[in-house]
Amino acid sequence: MPESFSETVICPSPGDVPDLVLRPSAIYAKTARGHEEVSLRSFGLSPKQRRALIMMNGKKDLAAIAGFIPLPELRETVPFLLAELFISERNDEAVPSCAKEDGIRRAALAPVKQMMAAAASRHLGLLAGDLVRRIDNAGDREALQSVAAYWHLAILESKTGTGKAGAYLEEVRRAIAAL
């Protein structure tokens, strides 16, 4: 019979995972590094680690995920993903209670995102699709800064963007700093 949260008592012992990490109601979401791993496979996660990372969508709690991934695997994988900054716990208290504030922040990011997406499309052509999605999904200043690094490298390595990448990056840095 598969192990479940309700059947398991997690006892703290040396080297064991703390209760707070594996509580059934914990909800984890991918960080920018986690999204990068899912799309680019650049950090070399094992298949089990990658599967758990994909499930961490900021909506499902660990009890729901345990229905798809065995609990012993979660006990091993969740602390690793946390320690390596692939996921972070979603904290509803950190989310602004006023949707208007969130809308203002997103509106401030929009011109920077549009400029980055246009430059990516111009210099990367059809290869810009994934990068443009990552730009669109950046929900805050920090996420946009993270994507800007990859965006800059992609344009720098393109045939037509090599000479313009530095100027683009400075413009994006100034715009993000002004937010």
> In this structure, is residue 13 part of a structural domain?
no
Q: Which residue, 94, 125, 146, sits at the end of a domain?
A: 94
Q: What is the pLDDT of residue 102?
A: 59
- Both 114 and 150 in one domain: the answer is yes
> In this structure, is residue 76 part of a structural domain?
yes
Q: Closest by alpha carbon to 56, among 72, 43, 80?
A: 80
- Both 163 and 120 in one domain: the answer is yes
Residue 175 CA to residue 96 CA, distance in Å, equals 23
Q: Closest by alpha carbon to 155, among 119, 129, 126?
A: 119
- Both 104 and 60 in one domain: the answer is no
- Both 88 and 157 in one domain: the answer is no
> In this structure, is residue 20 part of a structural domain?
no
Q: What is the pLDDT of residue 9?
A: 35
- Both 46 and 72 in one domain: the answer is yes
> In this structure, is residue 44 part of a structural domain?
yes
**Which tokens sit at 143?**
């996420």
Q: What is the pLDDT of residue 92?
A: 54
> In this structure, is residue 15 part of a structural domain?
no
Sign of the dihedral defined by the CA atoms of residues 34, 36, 40, 42, in that order: negative
**Pairs from 62-67 (Cβ < 8 Å, separation ≥ 24):** 62/5, 62/22, 62/23, 62/24, 62/25, 62/26, 62/27, 62/28, 63/5, 63/24, 63/25, 66/4, 66/5, 66/24
Q: What is the pLDDT of residue 21?
A: 59
> In this structure, is residue 7 part of a structural domain?
no
Q: Which residue, 47, 67, 94, sits at the end of a domain?
A: 94
SS3 sequence of 101-164: HHHHHHHHHHHHHHHHHHHHHHHHHHHHHHHHHHHHHCCCHHHHHHHHHHHHHHHHHCCCCCCC
Tell me the pLDDT of the chain (179 aa) as tens digits: 444 444 443 333 333 444 455 778 888 888 888 888 888 888 889 999 999 999 999 888 888 898 899 888 988 898 888 878 888 887 654 444 444 555 656 777 888 888 888 888 888 888 888 898 999 888 888 888 889 999 999 999 999 888 888 888 888 888 888 87
> In this structure, is residue 155 part of a structural domain?
yes
Q: What is the pLDDT of residue 32?
A: 83
> In this structure, is residue 104 part of a structural domain?
yes
Structural domain including 57 reads 27-94
As a residue count, the chain comes to 179
Q: Which residue, 42, 72, 94, sits at the end of a domain?
A: 94
Q: What is the pLDDT of residue 38?
A: 87
> Which DSSP category does 26 fall into?
-
